[in-house]
Copies of this chain bind each other. A is one copy, B any other.
Amino acid sequence: MTPEEFRKAGHELIDWIADYRTRIPALPVRARVRPGEVRAGLPASAPVSTDTFGDLMTDLEQIIVPGITQVQHPMHYGWFPSNASLASVLGDIASSGLGTLGISWESCPSLTELEEVVCDWLRQLTGLSDQWRGTIHDTASTACVTAMILARERASALSKNGAGLQGMTAPLIVYSTAQAHSSVAKAVQLAGFGNDNLRYVAEDPYTRAMLPEALAEAVAQDLAAGNIPAGIVCSVGATGTTAMDPVAAIAAIANRHSVWLHVDAAMAGSAMLLPECRHLWQGVEQADSLAWNPHKWMGTILDTALFYVRDVPHLERVMSTNPSYLRSAADGEVTQYRDWGIPLGRRFRALKLWFHLRLDGIDAIQARLRRDLDNAQWLKQQVEAADDWEVLAPVELQTVCIRHVPRDVQGNPISGEALDRHTLAWVERINASGSAFLSPSVLDGRWMARVSIGVEGTGREHVARLWQLLQEAV
């Protein structure tokens, strides 16, 4: 395809995207396709001749769009806000158009240095000290695997350079809570620790925050048994109920025993753009690594996960490679991000953050986050004031965990499996309607509904409409 053919098709595509984003509120929130339906609409083999751009746009509209759950829809309250602000989309388009290659500083100095700059901008905007240096990963899951490998290599004195983890004579142990995101257990497994060496520390029964005294006891027991405490994952805003592990108290224990402390603030990190929320991760300066996703609530399009560390030399010792074909005269003077993570090659992801922050501005982003915090508190109040409705966990940020608990014929609140059936049924009625979308989740062994507020287009009127739908659905 020539640049002129690209120009023509590109203009059509920009118009299509602008129109699409305009009409999202009129689309059903949840995709209405059956398993295999999209696949069935596509040829089983690649075309032998070329198609026109018009053919492709027709298929995009008729086959692809119906199979999209609209996470940009103002009535999307599922999983987490996965905002793709149009300012950041422009940055992403610039990245695609430039066609750069990030494998070393020399292959694209701008890619490396803009990434350093925007990671530092975000460091300042979230109130972190200049002890931290950041990079962009695809997801917080990958950041967590990286953190667990850093923990393993610190506790094993760089066993990777010798006999590996399999050469250790005493088991290395990782601590978290059962509220931690599923990626934490996965990271512990992928890094080779094994499930037996992951300790779920006791939580506060209401806030679901890790109990530091329970952590201290678990660490003491492992030390007494001859095990080696290696890593702790502290959730700042755990997935289920946005539980906030107490970072300062946990960090004190971690530092006492030189255990790597990783703070997983994948969703809640966006809140740290608001000074009034930073008490929620007080003590973070004593952690070793930290991840949060601007591609969630803040709204820089996926994939944009920030990973910060304090001990860069350790990071580079663990992740570095220096083959001859990647050496350059600038080595030693520049950052080589290939030595900061798993992949060698990288896209020019920093452009998304650069465009987003410069075009939308931090003031507007902060105002939107505060709007969402207010809306969550408003919904919490409505639910608490209504008969037969319950709010199940503290509303620390923008997620409201709720249940509707009707009475049986004897006038007693239903419970157990009957309650589960009721919850899943009314959530499914809402999701199937296409008017709104919620993702149910299990808390204390029973299903609940998570209302995750924070889509860019979600105003008070949408949350009020949701509350109306909730009451009609039960």
Contacts and interface: CB of A to CB of B under 8 A. Distances in A.
A67 B112 CA distance: 10
Interface string A121-144: 110110000000000001101100
A138 B346 CA distance: 8
Contacts of A163: 171, 194, 196-197
Given A71-B100, A92-B96, A325 B239 contact: yes
Nearest to A190: B149
Contact of A69 (B107, B191, B323, B357): B107
A364 interface: yes
Contacts of A138: 138, 343, 345-346
Contacts of A413: none
A359 to B, nearest CB: 6
Interface in A346-390: 346-347, 351, 354-355, 357-364
Given A10-B17, A97-B21, A110 B63 contact: yes
A330 interface: yes
Given A106-B69, A196-B164, A347-B302, A18 B4 contact: yes
Interface stretch (A43-51, A208-216, A245-253, A466-474): A43-51
Interface in A10-62: 10-11, 13-22, 30-31, 33, 35-39, 42, 44-51, 53, 55-56, 60
A110 B38 contact: yes
A425 interface: no
Given A92-B96, A110-B31, A359-B50, A324 B42 contact: no
Interface stretch (A77-85, A218-226, A255-263, A282-290): A77-85
Contacts of A110: 31, 33, 38, 63-68
Interface string A158-180: 01111111111001100000000
Interface in A296-316: 301-303
A186 B334 CA distance: 21
A114 interface: yes
Contacts of A69: 100-101, 106-109
B182 A326 contact: yes
A333 interface: yes
Contact of A168 (B30, B47, B166, B239): B166
A79 to B, nearest CB: 7
Interface residues of A, number: 161
Nearest to A352: B96
Interface string A71-93: 11000001100111111011011
Contacts of A329: 428
A99 B121 contact: no
Interface stretch (A199-207, A402-410, A436-444): A436-444
A2 interface: yes
Contact of A39 (B72, B117, B354): B117
A224 to B, nearest CB: 19
A355 B56 contact: yes
A59 to B, nearest CB: 9
Contacts of A355: 56
Nearest to A165: B192
Nearest to A17: B97
24 contacts: A3-B18, A6-B18, A10-B17, A11-B14, A17-B97, A21-B99, A30-B106, A37-B113, A38-B114, A42-B113, A42-B117, A50-B364, A60-B94, A68-B108, A79-B101, A79-B103, A82-B99, A160-B194, A161-B189, A162-B195, A181-B323, A182-B323, A183-B344, A302-B347
Given A56-B354, A71-B101, A138-B346, 7 more contacts: A20-B98, A47-B362, A161-B195, A164-B171, A164-B192, A164-B196, A323-B441
Closest 10 CB pairs of A and B: A164-B194, A84-B99, A67-B110, A17-B97, A192-B192, A10-B14, A324-B442, A165-B192, A7-B18, A50-B361
